[in-house]
Structure 1
Amino acid sequence: MAPVFKVAVVQLYPKPMQIEQNFNKAASYIRSAAAQGVELVVLPEYHLTNWVPKDPNFLSLCGQWEIYLKKYQNLAKECKICIVPGTIVERRDGAEKEDQLLNVAYFIDHTGEIIGKYIKKNLWGPEREYLTSSGRDVHEVFDTPLGRVGMLICWDLAFPEAFRELIYQGAKIVIIPTFWTLNDCSEVGLKFNPSAEAVFLDSALTARTFENTCAIIFANAGGPPGHGYAGLSQITVPYIGPLTRLGSCAEGMSVVDLDLGVLEDAEENYKVRADLARDDWHYDYRHSKMKERL
């Protein structure tokens, strides 16, 4: 029989620049999850600082990244729980400019060891002035207590190629810390539908689970009504769609039993991984060969 894991997704409102307060709130949810027997808890992107790169103190807070990474390692060891602490923005040693920041997700196991690390590759437009992408580094999959896991961050969701790299390496679970707002849509798009980004998220997350026969743990920020927070944190699988789905504004945590058997059933039906493994798979060309057609 396929394993069943108890996992939790946490939706937080990261108060801008209140790094210690935001950490303490996250830690409270993690301890609550551990008390419920949760094996993995996932937090949103930018959950320690919010995304305020123009604040004059933002850069100095990002210089504290090692302090808070260590705090999460200690918390994982204390609670005997795996943690993906959303993302932590890291200031490179000696960096003096905002564009020398990295947006990083870590997988910390129940002993406090870091067993996975991913630097955001596909940067959202406004991030490009401040963050450095992982560029052509390959997407990696990690062996974890929950099996083979891949990590993406926020706007990576828009790129099916990222999922294909992870699935080809055997990922069964894809974790996506996110800071995605309704206001990320253009004015034109918002005129068509003020909830366009919610449609994007719900549609893409469900589609990715089907087309890759994987589970997705998607942790987004929530916030006060009227500020454009999208929320919609969810744990999504093929056939069913969201096993749980939080609202747009509320903070909170949802705990579910993630039965990986549904992934085996979906693969038996759709045979996506089987096709990817074929020697004559017809999409094995490199995208660079197609550039002149784009």
Structure 2
Amino acid sequence: MQMEVNFQKAANYIRNAAKVGTQLAVLPEYHLLNWLPQDAKFKEACGHWETYLNKYRELAKECNINIVPGTIVELHDAGTDEERLENVAYFITNVGEIAGKYVKKNLWGSIERLHLTSSSMDPHPVFDTPLGKVGMLICWDLAFPEAFREMISKGAMIIIIPTFWTLTDCSKAGLAINPVAEGLFLDSMLTARCFENTCGKPCGTLGEIRRLTTTTAIIFANAGGPPGKGYAGLSQVCVPYAGAITRLGSCAEGMAIVDLDMKIVEDAEDNYQVRADLARSDWHYEYRHNKTDAKL
């Protein structure tokens, strides 16, 4: 609930990353406000979303760096029957332009569904950026492999995932079996998505890619925090064959600057031929968004 303080902290990280030639900086979901929809001032604060979006656009120009500023919760049509809150991720180019945006589709349980409006049946967008074709997901979207395949089929080279995923998202039954079950969930999914889409994943509380070629990278940036507060963290760089190259812990705020050798990803595609199968005219999976399919 300290938007300006959190923005300045993020800006300092980004300026330091830019000094060493970083091309892309990624922040976690809800980084400006945390997720506190019951706070009396939360909705009012969300009304200032455009101010902070513009601040990040100016910062991108200042530092000559592409930025995905985590997510920004936006209040639209306040005080009307159409009032809604949307959880939005933007890709801002190094000249301060908005290359694309994504509104969170898969909302987490009643906690988010009571307050946020989903992008629902809208297709997952893929858009052109200075780093190639990019798609974005947010947090719980990570659990749905269909989202990855839809964007891969549209030519996405980079998939970026700002996240606020905690250990306490697990049920009591799950926690009784494994107190860090959500960490296992994250590590397992990141590795699986890496192999099944022949993707390399540079991931971090503030992640970056310095060198990009022509295959897919996935950037996962999760929130970390003080011990005992339930933060999962585990922002990481993960590639086929090797798995996690580096991983930030769960109990510390920090920045990881990563050089990713995309040749690993090219070798994985040569071996597994996932993209080649997706390109075949007789590929047997389709990606549809309509109400009939939603009822299946």
Structure 2 match to 1:270: 272
Single out whichever of 270-279 and 59-68 deviates more from structure 2. Answer: 270-279
For the residues of structure 1 that align with 2:70 and 2:149, how far apart are their CA atoms? 22
Q: What residue in structure 2 maps to residue 9 of structure 1?
A: none
SS in 2 for 1:133: coil
Runs of 4+ in 1 over 4 A off after TM superposition: 95-99, 285-292
- Larger fraction in strand: 1
Q: Structure 2 matches for 1:39-50, cutoff 5 A?
A: 39-50=23-34
Alpha carbons 2:128, 2:134 under 8 Å: kept: yes
After superposition, the C-alpha distances for 1:92-143 in whole angstroms (9 at most, x for unaligned) are 1235689710000000010000101000000001100000000111111122
Q: Is the 8 A contact 1:52 1:58 kept in 2?
A: yes
Q: How does 1:178-197 map to 2 (within 5 A)?
A: 178-197=163-182
Residues 146-166 of structure 1 deviation map (CA, whole Å, 9 limit, x = unaligned):
212111000000000000011
Say whether 1:74 aligns with 2:58.
yes
Alpha-carbon distance between aligned partners in 2 of 1:279 and 1:233, rounded to the nearest angstrom? 37
Q: Kindly provide the CA deviation profile for residues 184-219 of structure 1, in whole angstroms up to 9, marking residues without a partner as x.
A: 000000000000000000000111011011222111
Shift in alpha-carbon separation, 1:92–1:211, aligned structure 2, 3 A: same
CA spacing shift, 1:291–1:176, aligned 2, 3 Å: closer
TM-score w.r.t. structure 1 length?
0.90
**Correspondence for 1:108:** 92
Cα displacement (A) at 1:264? 1.6
Q: Say if 1:95 and 1:154 are closer, same or farther in 2 by CA, change over 3 A.
A: farther
> Structure 1 residues 131, 285: closer, same or farther in 2, change over 3 A?
closer
Relative contact order higher in (CA < 8 Å, ≥ 6 apart): 1
Match of 1:219, SS state, is strand
User: Which residue does 1:138 correspond to in 2?
Assistant: 123
Within 1, Cα distance between the matches of 2:9 and 2:289?
Answer: 43
> Which residue does the alignment assign to 1:161?
146
Q: Answer yes or no: is the 8 Å Cα contact 1:120–1:153 preserved in 2.
A: yes
Structure 1 residues 291 and 169: CA distance shift in structure 2, 3 A: closer
Question: Which residue in the other structure is 2:209 paired with?
Answer: none
Distance 2:164 2:144 in 1: 16
Q: 5+ unaligned residues in a row in structure 2: which ranges?
A: 200-216
What residue in structure 1 maps to residue 229 of structure 2?
227
Runs of 5+ consecutive residues of structure 1 not aligned to the other structure? 1-16
- Counterpart of 2:258 in 1: which secondary structure? strand
Residues 76-95 of structure 1: CA distance to partner in whole angstroms, max 9, x if unpaired?
Answer: 00000000000000001235
TM-fit CA distance, 1:242: 2.0
Structure 1 residue 243: Cα displacement: 2.5
Alpha-carbon RMSD across the aligned residues, in angstroms, is 1.8
Q: Which amino acid aligns with 2:14?
A: I
For 2:230 and 2:155, how far apart are their aligned partners in 1?
36
Q: How does 1:5-24 map to 2 (within 5 A)?
A: 17-24=1-8
Deviation larger for 251-260 or 127-136: 251-260
One of 249, 252, 273 as aligned partner of 1:250: 252
Q: Structure 1 vs Structure 2: percent identity of aligned residues? A: 70
Q: 1:285 & 1:248 partners in 2: Cα distance?
A: 35
- The 1:96/1:33 distance shift into structure 2, 3 A limit, reads farther
SS in 2 for 1:254: coil
Q: What's the offset of the Cα at 1:233?
A: 0.9
TM-score using structure 2 length? 0.89
CA drift at 1:286: 4.9
> Alignment partner of 1:256: what SS?
coil
Specify the SS of the correspondent of 1:282. Answer: coil
Is 2:123–2:289's contact at 8 Å kept on the other side of the alignment?
no
Distance verdict in 2 for CA 1:286–1:136, change over 3 Å: closer
Q: Do 1:148 and 1:170's aligned partners in 2 also have CA atoms closer than 8 Å?
A: yes
- Counterpart residue number, 1:3: none
**Residue 172 (structure 1) shift:** 2.2
Q: Determine helix, strand or coil for the equivalent of 1:258.
A: coil
Report how far residue 179 of structure 1 moved.
Answer: 0.3
**How many residues of Structure 1 are paired with residues of Structure 2 in the alignment?**
277
* Counterpart residue type for residue 208 of structure 1: R
Contact 1:81 1:109 in 2 (8 A): yes
Q: Read off the aligned partner of 1:114 and give its amino acid letter.
A: I
Cα distance in 2 between the residues matched to 1:55 and 1:64: 16
Contact 1:99 1:132 in 2 (8 A): no
